[in-house]
Each structure stands twice: as structure tokens, then as C-alpha cells.
């Protein structure tokens, strides 16, 4: 892997990911020879690790590697205490839920459809197993009261049909001594164990309702291992493979994912193999798709032309699947649907965004990392750069194309600015309502039970008590076992939650 040729190194990374896919597929075939009807094959995928489960896994192509499984599985670890947000639980779940989704697509690529074993358990193609998650976690993650319960039901709300802990008791020797289990080293009942017992009791009682959930999201986020690797080889802002990048592909993915999450815009996470399913969605978010074949870019453009709403960003379309920079006008393949062009870019220094459209506090208007100097030929400029020399170039544009609309973001925006951009596009796509206004730390998640009942999860990701009106049809709160009327105020404890099944 030691080469200054980034294109070559990215190809080698793809080759290595292919070895993982081949190996798992070979293992799966061997196991499958001996599989009893009630048994199934899963695998414990993990995520890009940044001290916790952060983003798309660079070393494995989860989509391709999961073709040989009956049901997807993953491990998810994340901060707790006052830094608990639920973002990693949701991101990991939204990604893993999609690995076996799209049965038709699965079949066409030779993938494995649901085994008898998983069907017997009531799982559908969207369900997955949390094969590992933190109990007491490591030293920084000793959970506050209620957080273990919040974790568990948040996994369920994403479609998980099981939650398993690492691990039963804390280890007394060698290495993971301080990655503590449900029991501490003294093996006595303790605070975490007592809280876990309540989770087990609730799961035992509610499994008929909570197992085999289906999600019906209208927003999708497209991620790509090729874009990830490409950005890693030509990292921003320098474009040279020296030093650690300040902001990598996963940071940009998470910037947009988190902007969705914080506004209760639930999404499915798609891989390039899912490009045939774009018509299922109203809003498509495509962050920094630095490397992609013509077909992918054409499918995204067609999605817009046929009425979809697209948000895409700087770097999308720039190079092809071999990391060769395209010779054509940028953003290549997306210039027509976005209605723009550029051939210059730089790192912003003291650059803010100036806009008549977005109402964002001055401190949140900074452009950072990278800015394309966009000529908004046909598009409407939503924000310009505020700078003595770059002021004439566009930073954010919007373009009607066919019966759809494309939003282009030419620089790295702040989280608050990104939320404003996402809000505007979601509104145009008809996805902005009361749930979205009830923003983080109030997290609302939606699923349909195997029995067909709409389920609404209201999570309070905060150390303060929360009051929130119940926004949906009359139902029954499953934990307290009491009726809830539409508009009724839900009182949520710190790190508390409610699960209401419509009746």
C-alpha cells in the first residue's frame, strides 16, 4: 500500500475489500452445508472507528459482503453520559437495516434471501441483530441511570430484533479489562445489571410487538466505499496524502446524516448497488460522492428529472470509478441537473456565507475546509461566499430540473447551516412537519409492527426532563401500559422514552 499513486492505492483498497467479501462468502457456503432449518447465518460487522462506531467501514464493503448472510448483524459502541446522542445507534442501524433490504435487488445479484430460520423468527429483510453493544462500556462510558434502557429501545426503533451485550462480566486479566461487562469484576449484582434486568423483562413481554418491525422511510442517504477511499487518497483540504486529513469522507457523511437525525428526518442508508431503488424515495442526500461510474451519476440525475429532490455537495462527480478526474465540466455528470459549473476551488480562509434565504446565526455561517468557486449558470443562488475576492461565486444553489429539484452545496458548512439546507429541501419535498420541528434532543422514530400497527418512539436524549405533545393517532404506551390520546403531553424523564402503538 506504499505508493504516492492515489488511484493505484484506491484500487488496491477495493481489491482488499473484495477479499473480505470472498472469504465470508466461502465461509458461508461451508456453514450452509450443515445448517439446520431453524438456524441462520449472520455476521458481526463493525463501523469506521473513531473511539466509537462512527461511519462507513473502509475495510469492508458491507453491502457486498452481506449478500451471503441470512440476516445482517453489527456491533455498535458510542459515548454515553452527557455525550449520549443516539446518533451512532441510529446511523449503524439505518445502515445495517438496508444491507439485506431490497429483496429484488438481492436476488438479481445472487444474494441470499431470508432463510427459513429467520422467517420462523418473524424477521423481515430489514431486521438485523445487534450482536454486540456496550454494557458498562469503558471508563468514560459508565452509563447514567436509564441510559442502558434508552440504548436498547433505540436499537429496536431502528429495526433491530435483538440486543446483545459485551459482555456478561468484566475481565480480570490481559487486555479488555476495562471494557466492562454487565457485572463488574466483583461479579456481584450492580447498577448496570439491575437496569439490564428491566430491559430483559420488557423485551420478554413486548417481543411479539417489537420483533420484525418494518420501516418506511422517504429519505435516503447514499454512501460509497469508493468515494470514502478516494477521499482518503486525495484528502481535503490539501489533496495530498500527507498527514491526517482534517475532515474525511465519513465526517461529511455524518454532517448530513446528523442534520437529518437532529430534525427527525429518518432515512435509509443506501450503497451504489441500491441505485435502482431511488424511485422509492422523495429526498436523496448524496454527500461528497467523489468517485462514481457514469451510471451512478446518471441514475441520480434521472431521479431528479423524474421529480426527486436531491441534496449533493462539493466533490460529488469529480472522478470516475478509477479515481481518474473527469475531463468534463464539473460537477461532472451532475452539472446539468444542478445547473452549475466550476473549475476552481480553494480552502476557505475567513470566508462566511451570505444568504437572503437561510436564517442562521453569524457564528454558524462559516465555510471551512474546501470551497468550490461555483458559477451558477442556470441555478438559483441560495448563498454566496462573503469574501473580498470570492464574493461573486455561489456557495449553495438550487435548480429545478425536469419535475424535480437539486440543491448543491459547494463548501463544508457548519452543522447549523447544514440543518437549514436540509430543512429547505425537505420542505420542498413535502417532508417537513410537526415531528421535524420537535427536534433533537427529542428524537421521534417510526416503524410498523409485524402485526401492522404503527409504532411511535419518543426518545429524550437529554439529562433534563422533556415535555412533548404526542403527534399521532390515539394509541397505547407499551411500557406504562396506558392509553395515549393525540395531542396529549408526554412527560419524559432524563434519558427516558415512550413507545406508543396506534390502535
Please report whether residue 190 would count as binding a second copy according to CB under 8 A.
yes
Q: Residue 11 or 305: which CB sits closer to a second copy?
A: 11
What is the C-alpha R_g of the chain?
23
Q: Restricting to residues 129-188, name those near a second copy by CB under 8 A.
A: 136, 138-142, 144-145, 170-175, 177-179, 184-188
Please report whether residue 329 would count as binding a second copy according to CB under 8 A.
yes
Please report whether residue 502 would count as binding a second copy according to CB under 8 A.
no
Minimum CB separation from a second copy for residue 37, in Å? Answer: 40
Distance CA 256, CA 222 (A): 11
Site string for a second copy, 77-116 (x = CB under 8 A): ----xx----------------------------------
Distance CA 500, CA 447 (A): 11
Site string for a second copy, 447-486 (x = CB under 8 A): ----------------x-----------------------
C-alpha cell at 386: 462573503
Q: Restricting to residues 236-265, name those near a second copy by CB under 8 A.
A: 236-240
Q: Residue 141 or 457: which CB sits closer to a second copy?
A: 141
Q: Could you tell me the maximum CA-CA distance found in the chain, to the nearest angstrom?
A: 70
**What DSSP string runs through 119-170?**
HHTT--TT-EEEEEEESSBSGGG-PPTTHHHHHHHHHHHHTEEEEEEE-SB-
Q: Residue 192 or 376: which CB sits closer to a second copy?
A: 192
Minimum CB separation from a second copy for residue 326, in Å? Answer: 7
Contact 390, 446 (CB under 8 A): no
Please report whether residue 386 would count as binding a second copy according to CB under 8 A.
no
Please report whether residue 1 would count as binding a second copy according to CB under 8 A.
no
Which of 129, 157, 323, 382: binder of a second copy (CB under 8 A)? 323
Which DSSP letter does residue 322 get? T
Long-range contacts of 86-89 (CB under 8 A, 24+ apart): 86/150, 86/154, 86/261, 86/443, 86/459, 86/461, 87/254, 87/257, 87/258, 87/261, 88/47, 88/52, 88/53, 88/54, 89/151, 89/154, 89/155, 89/158
Give the β-pairing of 454-460 and 442-448: antiparallel
Minimum CB separation from a second copy for residue 76, in Å? Answer: 19
Please report whether residue 325 would count as binding a second copy according to CB under 8 A.
yes
Please report whether residue 14 would count as binding a second copy according to CB under 8 A.
no
Encode burial over 64-82: b for 16+ CB neighbours within 10 A, e otherwise: bbbbbbbbbbbbbbbbbee
Distance CA 83, CA 77 (A): 13
What Cα–Cα distance (Å) separates residue 196 from each residue in 178, 407, 492?
19, 45, 20
What Cα–Cα distance (Å) separates residue 490 from each residue in 19, 144, 459, 501?
50, 22, 11, 14
Cis ω on the peptide bond leading into residue 237 (within 30° of 0)? yes
Q: Residue 350 or 481: which CB sits closer to a second copy?
A: 350
Minimum CB separation from a second copy for residue 321, in Å? Answer: 13
Q: Residue 120 or 187: which CB sits closer to a second copy?
A: 187
Site string for a second copy, 209-238 (x = CB under 8 A): -------------------------x-xxx
Q: Residue 246 or 400: which CB sits closer to a second copy?
A: 246
Minimum CB separation from a second copy for residue 14, in Å? Answer: 16
Minimum CB separation from a second copy for residue 369, in Å? Answer: 10
Please report whether residue 327 would count as binding a second copy according to CB under 8 A.
yes
Q: Residue 63 or 149: which CB sits closer to a second copy?
A: 149
Other Cβ atoms closer than 10 A to 397: 23
Q: Restricting to residues 351-370, name those near a second copy by CB under 8 A.
A: 370
Q: Is 69 left (phi over 0), alpha (psi -120 to 50) or beta?
A: beta
Q: Restricting to residues 191-210, name those near a second copy by CB under 8 A.
A: 191-192
Distance CA 47, CA 96 (A): 10
Minimum CB separation from a second copy for residue 178, in Å? Answer: 3
Minimum CB separation from a second copy for residue 378, in Å? Answer: 18
Stretch binding a second copy (CB under 8 A), from 100-108, 218-226, 258-266, 340-348? 340-348
Q: Residue 234 or 470: which CB sits closer to a second copy?
A: 234
Distance CA 310, CA 446 (A): 23
Minimum CB separation from a second copy for residue 184, in Å? Answer: 4
Please report whether residue 297 would count as binding a second copy according to CB under 8 A.
no
Minimum CB separation from a second copy for residue 2, in Å? Answer: 13
How many residues touch a second copy (CB under 8 A)? 58
Distance CA 500, CA 396 (A): 39
Looking at 289-391, which runs of residues are DSSP E strands? 309-313, 345-346, 352-354, 368-372, 380-386
The residues binding a second copy (CB under 8 A) are 4-8, 81-82, 136, 138-142, 144-145, 170-175, 177-179, 184-188, 190-192, 234, 236-240, 323-330, 343-347, 349-350, 370, 373, 388-389, 463
Amino acid at each position: 500500500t506504499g505508493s504516492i499513486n492515489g488511484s493505484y492505492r484506491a484500487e488496491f483498497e477495493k481489491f482488499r475489500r473484495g477479499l473480505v467479501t470472498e472469504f465470508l462468502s466461502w465461509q458461508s457456503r461451508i456453514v450452509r452445508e450443515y445448517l439446520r432449518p431453524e438456524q441462520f447465518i449472520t455476521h458481526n460487522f463493525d463501523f469506521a472507528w473513531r473511539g466509537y462506531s462512527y461511519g462507513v467501514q473502509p475495510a469492508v464493503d458491507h453491502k457486498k459482503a452481506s449478500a451471503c448472510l441470512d440476516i445482517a448483524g453489527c456491533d455498535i459502541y458510542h459515548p454515553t453520559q452527557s455525550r449520549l446522542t443516539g446518533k451512532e445507534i441510529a446511523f449503524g442501524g439505518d445502515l445495517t437495516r438496508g444491507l439485506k433490504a431490497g429483496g429484488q435487488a438481492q436476488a438479481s445479484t445472487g444474494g441470499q434471501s431470508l432463510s427459513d430460520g429467520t422467517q420462523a423468527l418473524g424477521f423481515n429483510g430489514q431486521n438485523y441483530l445487534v450482536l454486540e453493544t456496550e454494557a458498562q462500556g469503558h471508563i468514560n462510558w459508565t452509563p447514567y441511570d436509564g441510559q442502558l434502557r434508552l440504548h436498547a429501545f433505540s436499537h429496536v426503533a431502528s429495526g433491530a430484533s435483538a440486543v446483545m451485550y459485551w459482555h456478561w462480566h468484566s475481565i480480570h486479566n490481559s487486555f479488555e479489562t476495562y471494557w466492562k461487562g454487565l457485572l463488574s469484576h466483583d461479579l456481584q449484582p450492580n447498577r448496570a445489571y439491575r437496569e439490564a434486568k428491566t430491559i430483559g423483562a420488557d423485551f420478554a413481554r413486548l417481543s411479539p410487538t417489537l420483533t420484525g418491525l418494518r420501516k418506511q422511510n422517504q429519505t435516503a442517504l447514499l454512501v460509497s466505499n469508493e468515494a470514502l477511499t478516494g477521499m482518503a487518497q486525495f484528502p481535503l483540504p490539501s489533496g495530498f496524502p500527507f498527514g491526517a486529513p482534517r475532515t474525511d469522507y465519513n465526517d461529511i457523511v455524518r454532517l448530513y446524516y446528523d442534520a437529518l437525525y437532529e430534525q427527525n428526518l429518518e432515512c435509509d442508508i443506501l450503497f451504489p448497488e441500491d441505485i435502482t431503488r431511488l424511485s422509492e424515495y422523495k429526498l436523496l442526500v448524496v454527500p461528497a460522492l467523489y468517485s462514481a461510474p457514469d451510471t451512478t451519476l446518471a441514475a441520480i440525475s434521472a431521479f431528479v428529472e423524474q421529480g426527486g429532490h436531491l441534496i449533493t455537495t462539493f466533490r460529488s462527480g469529480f472522478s470516475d470509478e478509477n479515481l481518474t478526474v473527469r475531463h468534463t465540466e464539473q460537477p461532472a455528470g451532475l452539472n446539468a441537473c444542478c445547473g452549475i459549473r466550476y473549475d476552481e476551488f480553494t480552502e476557505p480562509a475567513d470566508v462566511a456565507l451570505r444568504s437572503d434565504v437561510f436564517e442562521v446565526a453569524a457564528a454558524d455561517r462559516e465555510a471551512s475546509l474546501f470551497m468550490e468557486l461555483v458559477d451558477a449558470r442556470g441555478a438559483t443562488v441560495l448563498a454566496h461566499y462573503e469574501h473580498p475576492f470570492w464574493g461573486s461565486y455561489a456557495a449553495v444553489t438550487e435548480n429545478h430540473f425536469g419535475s424535480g429539484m437539486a440543491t448543491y452545496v459547494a463548501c463544508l458548512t457548519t452543522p447549523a447551516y447544514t440543518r437549514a439546507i436540509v430543512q429547505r429541501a425537505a420542505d420542498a419535498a413535502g417532508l417537513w412537519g410537526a415531528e421535524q420541528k420537535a427536534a433533537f434532543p427529542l428524537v421521534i422514530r417510526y416503524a410498523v409492527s409485524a402485526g401492522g400497527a404503527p409504532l411511535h418512539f419518543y426518545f429524550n436524549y437529554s439529562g433534563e426532563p422533556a415535555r412533548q405533545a404526542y403527534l399521532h393517532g390515539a394509541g397505547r404506551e407499551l411500557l406504562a401500559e396506558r392509553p395515549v390520546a393525540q395531542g396529549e403531553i408526554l412527560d419524559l424523564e432524563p434519558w427516558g422514552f415512550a413507545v406508543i402503538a396506534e390502535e
